[in-house]
Chains A and B, each alone.
Chain A
Amino acid sequence: MAAVLTALHVTAARAQPVGAVPGRLEFDAGIIWAGAQALGSQEANLTTGTGSTLRLFSSTSDLLAAAGFEGRVAVKVTRTVDARVSMSYAKPQLRTRVTNDLENSAGATLSEAVQQYLVGGGIDWYVAPRKSGARIWPFVGGGAAYLRQLHEGATLVATGQSYDVGGGVKLLLASSTRPRQLMRAAGVRLDAGIVVRTKGITFDGHRTVVPAAAASLFVRF
């Protein structure tokens, strides 16, 4: 990536036609982060002689926030819209905290590592037409992905869907309009938004909403 930026730097200030998007194809790689997902609480209850419950201990479970890697390929659909496909990998911890034990006040925090894969697609819409010489491209976008989560040891798989909405900016670090220049632009993409997950690892069957962010480097051809 550094070599790409250096090669394009000399042409970065060159004028572009108004509205012209440098390149039709974008490759993007970077890091992602998703916030913690609460999985709910459960009590380990015993039944009493009156039919009520006696708590043996309590448990609260979360899929912890985690960073991971993401790769995207985007294609320019219109002057202001890119369609993208993406794949990401992260390894969040599934954590269960045990408290209020009837016989052991110490409690415990237990965890396992989950391997999480997302494969999907989406749309990015540039909210302001990219103007000649523009260095910042704000956008909003949304997408859907297939969610595959493997418990520790890959012995058990949970699948579901993931939907994301959000926005961000692309910071153009270098661009070129030379006819024979293969790479047309390069820069940094910053995203923030929310992710709605259905199914996958969920203890109560409910949809969950978590914040998400990403930072990546892109090149356009």
Chain B
Amino acid sequence: MRRIIATLLAIFLTVPAQPAFAYLEFGTRVNGRQVTLKWAQTPVRYFVNSRSAIPGVSVDDFQTAVGRAFAQWQAVPTSAIAYQFAGLTAGLPGEEDGLSTLGFRNRPELDRVLASTNFLVDISSGALLESDIFFNSSFSWSTAPAGELGRFDLESIALHEIGHLSGLGHSALGETELREGGGRRVLGSEAVMFPIAFGAGTIAGRTLKADDIAGISDLYPDGDFTASTGSISGTVTKDGQPIFGAHIVAFDPATGSMVATFSLNAQGQFSINGLSPGPHVVRVEPLDDAEIDSFFDASLAVDIDFKVSFLDRLVVVAAGGDRGGVTANVSHK
């Protein structure tokens, strides 16, 4: 079996994976075609490193916090993904041992990386074989129910990383501002999979949002997800030419929920799945609230030279159907 390890540095760093032509999912090319990375079998068995204790967080605390995060993903009613705690292990996250392991590692040189997820992928099928998550113990962590001042919430960060472990990439559904001295501060986000974490002390990232739920349900659909939701697909153009990397948000004016994706190829094509039936507002914006390489390979030319705009009509999504042929024209800044 041919294998590769693709490392996905989450939260602050890049996602050097080829985006699949689909939702916010990871993909790879198998025999010349794009394949979405996902687990072939569930439940996904995970282990916790037996030495994952740092000041303020015991192994039990760690296991309980990540367990809550796994449980939240598993509780999504329209997704079939399931996880199973398989026990403690002496193995460290990042070791290729066939076990998906979560634990702390001290990586002070990664001074902007709270946590990271890496994968072992069967490149003949795109199936995930192993996925480890390390939490950088050079930061201060908390598992307190209400959070702790100056400490990052382990459950919130685990929720994000487990999204990666399950096959989800980053979402751009958020707004940031540049910090003096570098980096960005999150003003607000509406996806756990937004690549930049909230600051220390908050637990605002503990809840999955509509965008996360649509993503995991699209990867592992369950029940009547496919029949009860719909999609919008089309292209984004500027001056009549397709653009790559535009961020497209579908907003449901009945519920206020937002689900988003990108135009993911040279033809400017996009597809947003998992939308509730009904009319939607489509908003197109440049990818300017996070580092582009948090979403795409740095070698890809992402167009961010256009103004935020709305499609000039409501787009009606039917249950089980695709509202295709939508063309969003954007203009230069």
Contact = CB atoms under 8 A, between A and B. Distances in A.
A189 to B, nearest CB: 35
Interface string A43-54: 111111111011
Contact of A155 (B209, B309, B321): B321
A153 B316 CA distance: 8
Contacts of A102: 175
Given A51-B204, A94-B279, A111-B313, A44 B319 contact: no
Contacts of B209: 47
Interface in A57-71: 57, 59, 61
A167 to B, nearest CB: 34
B316 A96 contact: no
A11 B174 CA distance: 76
Interface in A69-86: none
Contacts of A49: 186, 198-199, 202, 204
A57 B310 CA distance: 11
Interface in A91-128: 94, 96, 98, 101-104, 108, 110-112
Contact of A46 (B175, B277, B278): B175
A54 B256 contact: no
Contact of B316 (A98, A103, A155, A203): A155
A57 B314 contact: no
B111 to A, nearest CB: 20
Contact of B190 (A46, A61, A108, A151): A46
A54 B188 contact: yes
B251 A44 contact: yes
Interface in B279-333: 279, 281, 283, 285, 307-314, 316-319, 321, 323
A104 B187 contact: no
Interface in B155-206: 173-175, 186-190, 198-199, 202-204
A47 B190 contact: yes
B219 to A, nearest CB: 23
A104 B199 contact: no
Contacts of A39: 253-254
B19 to A, nearest CB: 23
A46 B252 CA distance: 14
A155 B204 CA distance: 38
A56 interface: yes
Nearest to B198: A49
A42 B161 CA distance: 31
B258 interface: yes
A59 B281 contact: yes
Nearest to A59: B253
B31 interface: no
Nearest to B322: A155
B174 to A, nearest CB: 6
A153 B277 CA distance: 14
A3 interface: no
A43 B318 CA distance: 23
A98 B281 contact: yes
A1 interface: no
A2 interface: no
A202 to B, nearest CB: 8
Contacts of B323: 155
Given A94-B314, A112-B314, A47 B308 contact: no
A107 to B, nearest CB: 8
Interface in A161-216: 203-204
A110 B204 contact: no
A68 to B, nearest CB: 20
A12 to B, nearest CB: 51
Contacts of B278: 151, 156
A104 B307 contact: yes
Given A46-B187, A47-B209, A48-B187, A110 B175 contact: no
A42 B278 CA distance: 14
A11 to B, nearest CB: 54
Contacts of A96: 253, 279, 281, 314
Given A46-B174, A94-B314, A110-B311, A156 B277 contact: yes
Contacts of A152: 314, 316
B281 A203 contact: no
A124 B310 CA distance: 48
A42 B277 CA distance: 17
Interface in B220-270: 249, 251-256, 258
B153 to A, nearest CB: 11
B157 to A, nearest CB: 13
20 contacts: A46-B189, A47-B188, A49-B186, A49-B198, A49-B204, A56-B190, A57-B251, A98-B281, A98-B283, A98-B310, A102-B175, A104-B308, A104-B309, A110-B310, A111-B314, A155-B316, A155-B318, A156-B277, A156-B319, A203-B253
